[in-house]
Amino acid sequence: MRKKAIYPGTFDPITNGHLDIVTRAARIFEQIILAISANPRKKTMFSVIERERLAQETVKHLPNISVIKYSNLLVNFAKEQKARILIRGLRTTSDLEYERQIASMNHYLSPDLESVFFMTTTQYTYLSSSLIKEVAQHGGDVQKLLPMPAYQALKLRLDMTINC
Ligand code: ADP
């Protein structure tokens, strides 16, 4: 039971920073669920189905990672999945403050659930899905920052927007 971990997030879309964290986590835990949040209040570029497909294509070479979308409270999703570990990534001190608050709340809601933090690999410290989307929207080259399926989907989405 302890060896099953959940890596939750919005993944709009999955980036090389996310891939780095989940790949490292997959070497430590037996089974990882990359859990895509379907929170309808959060405005995303890609639908939850698209985000799920992009993540699936990105991690398909890693047999102990499965991709599942969820729309309920994360601690309840973790209970359903019989997982007791949550994985989160840390880039900056502002991530740390935010993550500390979320982890404390999750611990209050479900004391058996432990949050485990992975420090970002230095080269990905500045990567976030939102910054990548912003740069791409202004014509910046983000190809090396995204897994190929996510890059192609982003390019297609932006080309469609420009041509509309
Ligand atoms: P959320 O909207 O829940 O923050 P994200 O999809 O943006 O979801 O991120 C999911 C998790 O991955 C978070 O813990 C976030 O801090 C982490 N993360 C995102 N980008 C990176 C990165 N470049 N390096 C390390 N961790 C990252």
- Any known ligand binding at 145? no
Rounded Cα distance between 38 and 150, Å, is: 18
Contact 14, 97 (CB under 8 A): no
Total domains in the chain come to 1
Q: What is the CATH number of the domain that holds 144?
A: 3.40.50.620
3-62 pLDDT, tens digit each: 999 999 999 999 999 999 999 999 999 999 999 999 888 899 999 999 999 999 999 999
3-state secondary structure 30-46: CEEEEEEECCCCCCCCC
> Which of 61, 83, 102, 106 shows the shortest CA–CA distance to 7?
83
pLDDT digits (tens, 9 = 90+) for 75-110: 999 999 999 999 999 999 999 999 999 999 999 999
What is the span of the domain harbouring residue 68?
4-160
What is the 95 CA–ligand 1 centroid distance (Å)? 9
Ligand 1 pocket member 58 (CB < 6 A)? no
- Mark whether 2 is an active-site residue: no
Judge whether 42 counts as a catalytic residue. yes
